[in-house]
Structure 1
Amino acid sequence: MKSSRFTARAQGVRWLAVGLSALALTLSGCSAQGGSPSDSSSTAAQVSEPSLEFAGPNGEKPGKITDLVLTDDEKAKVKSGKFKAAFVWHTSSEFVSAVEKGAREEFTALGIDVVASTQANFDAATQANNLQTVLALKPDIIVTIAVDPVSAEATFKPAVDKGTKLVVMTTPPANYHAGNEFVSIVTESLTDAGKMNATILGDALGGEGDIGYMYHDADFWFTNQRDKAFKSWTQFLYPGEKIVAEVGFTDEAKTQELAAAMIARNPNIKGIYVPWATAAQGVLAALRDAGRSDVKVVTNDLDATLAADMARDGNAVGLVGNSSISLGKGLATASAYGVLGKTAPALVATTPTKVTKDNLVQGWKDDYGVEPPQSVTGK
């Protein structure tokens, strides 16, 4: 699977994140070459149990995906409406494909016709062009995630002005609010995902050793919360682990050189956290080039490259899935709320799934709704 270039620069975005004061750990990134952080937050002995409160970009309190419910009468009204939907994605990946699969299945059950699906390779200008193309098809519903929340405010205004129902997976345009410019946010429980990454790596290392912490160095509420949760839970649960290098990035194509510098400057590193799977592909490449088969890697999203490495007892020791099919169905159900004029929860979240070599095949099926590729199973 080709790595996509993360070019989003969400500079200047300052989301209101009510309840995130407990998450306010300073991400003091090192130089591009990595290095030991200077802040005292890496001293695990001084860390108390995290009190991490998951909240949306505008302080929305999350409900469960099961809070999205349609009556038989409401389903019949949607079916009779002959509504059209389109996907305006941020990028393409196995995760996005699985989410779309779940959404399409639910759209079909609701009699909603999907007229388009676009992706932007994490480029805000491309997403803006894609939206204009999609709007020409006059969809009643657009399922999306903003590449750059700031520029997306203007990008998606024509859709809002037309009365198109926007349903958001994770990240809405800046200054958009549920019940007004969009229907609902459907995502995963970010703090739970961060904790799962921490426990996978902690178990793999036996709770001991130096680790590297890579994080998304942009104001992107979704990745920021997940990254911080990993760091907080690692420091609390595994006092024998020490974060000796912190490296931020915005372009996932740079992770190979950043990881190479990190392990060169910190040769005792035994584990690395990476925010998402395609970014972790570069980390695996750096470890392979350095002959460092001893370094364990954890990340988010199920990915064939990482999964195949894990199946072969490589560097990857765990992936945290998003319950992608369920997430997609939730997006479609929230879309039905929109066309019905029914008030939806502002934010609902799926429960992430912990996938290791022991449950790799079943975990892939549960998350993506299909068998893992041959590169993973060897069949």
Structure 2
Amino acid sequence: MLMKKWIAALAGGLMLASAAAHAQTVGPQGETATPSSSLTLSDADIAALKDKGYKAALLWHTSSDFTNAVTAGATDEFARAGISIAVKTDAQFDAARQRSDIETALAAKPNVILALPLDPVTSAEAFRQAVKDGVKLVFLSNLPKDYKQGTDYASIVTDDLYQMGKQAADAMAKAIGGKGKVGYIFHDANYYVTNQRDQSFKKTIEKDYPDIKIVAEQGISDPARAEELANAMLLQHPDLDGIYVTWAEPADGVLSALRGAGNT
């Protein structure tokens, strides 16, 4: 019977930065997180927003259960405040397409944009016109390079990244009995969210689980290459007990590689 391989994947939860996150999770420029529970809209706030004809745009760079859930929550809250959704887009990990999506959104003259930027460098230029137009920008999980809060954007929302990585490590350790060899597929890009989660997983394994060794490391920037990279990792290390993957989409490819190698 072939040894069962375990995979730990982070898909990005919906629990926004909590009070427990303060000690470890920080913003892209080292900011201390503010718990989402401290941000509320009173009935007076809602009344002040209604009947003003405000419009919003939701600009994502990928489709996933995570972005679908964020879209649903944002849509419900905007509806409560009388704000219509003028544009919803998915750039599918294409920087040029995201820039085009921003231009499309600006043509609809939104008052606010909720966006998941593709990467700090390309998005800095892509969102510049929105800043010039005075559109309120709220970013999800990533920040354009050199943007300043209060000047260029209103806020950034993310998760308890440290805990997500730590809990993935804890789950991996439990699954393989606290000892063994694991592979580590991390996001090879300047993307603060995945970088923090990946590093938290690795540090937790190294610090808390001395009998677990990370024997193979591989960066990934294109989720479509996950199966190819996992196949190469398994070829070099057929005795792996588990593989960590940076988020859900590339994890699908790793699962395909595991099944193809006869693992269950």
User: CA RMSD, aligned part only?
Assistant: 1.3
2:252 paired residue among 281, 288, 309: 281
Letter matched to residue 138 of structure 1: K
Partner Cα distance (1:74, 1:102) in 2: 18
| Alignment match, 1:160 | 131
Q: Corresponding residue for 1:259?
A: 230
8 A contact 2:119–2:190 mirrored in 1: no
- Conserved in 1, the CA contact under 8 Å of 2:124 and 2:145? yes
Give unpaired runs (5+ residues) of structure 1: 1-51, 294-379
- Maintained 8 Å contact 2:185/2:219: yes
- The superposition leaves residues 71-119 of structure 1 with CA deviations (integer Å, 9 ceiling, x where unpaired) of 2212211114221001111111221111100110111111111111011
State the distance in 2 between where 1:213 and 1:235 align: 12
1:67 shift after superposition:
1.7
1:58 pairs with 2:29: yes
Q: How does 1:102-251 map to 2 (within 5 A)?
A: 102-251=73-222
Secondary structure, in 3 states, of the residue corresponding to 2:165?
helix
Deviations 1:13-56 (A, max 9, x none): xxxxxxxxxxxxxxxxxxxxxxxxxxxxxxxxxxxxxxx72111
Alpha-carbon distance between aligned partners in 1 of 2:153 and 2:52, rounded to the nearest angstrom: 20
User: CA–CA distance in 2 between the matches of 1:151 and 1:211?
Assistant: 34
The amino acid of 1:154's aligned partner reads E
1:87 counterpart = 2:88: no
Cα shift at 1:240? 1.2
* TM-score, normalised via structure 1 length: 0.63
SS of the residue corresponding to residue 190 of structure 2 reads coil
Match of 2:243 among 261, 272, 275: 272
Give, as a single letter, the amino acid of the residue that structure 2 aligns with 1:241: I
CA distance in structure 2 between the partners assigned to 1:192 and 1:268 by the alignment: 28
Q: In structure 2, the residue corresponding to 1:142 is in which secondary structure? A: strand
Query: Partner letter of residue 76 of structure 2?
Result: E
TM-score under structure 2 length normalisation: 0.89
Question: What corresponds to 1:97 in structure 2?
Answer: 68
**Separation (CA, whole Å) in 2 of partners of 1:217 and 1:204:** 26
Q: Which runs of 4+ in 1 moved over 3 A?
A: none
Q: Within 5 A, what are the aligned runs for 1:6-17?
A: none
Which residue identity is paired with 2:174? D
Deviation per CA, 1:118-166, whole angstroms, max 9, x where unpaired? 1101111100011111111110010001112112112111111111000
Q: Partners of 1:205 and 1:238 in 2: how far apart?
A: 11
* Separation in structure 2 between the aligned mates of residue 212 and residue 81 of structure 1, nearest angstrom: 53
2:40 to 57, 69, 94: 69
Amino acid at match of 2:180: G
Unaligned runs of 5+ in 2: 1-22
Aligned residues: 243
Question: 1:262 is aligned with what amino acid?
Answer: M
- Give the letter for the 2:183 counterpart: G
**Matched AA of 1:217:** D
Partners of 1:79 and 1:234 in 2: CA distance? 50
Q: Does the 8 Å contact 1:58/1:177 carry over to 2?
A: no
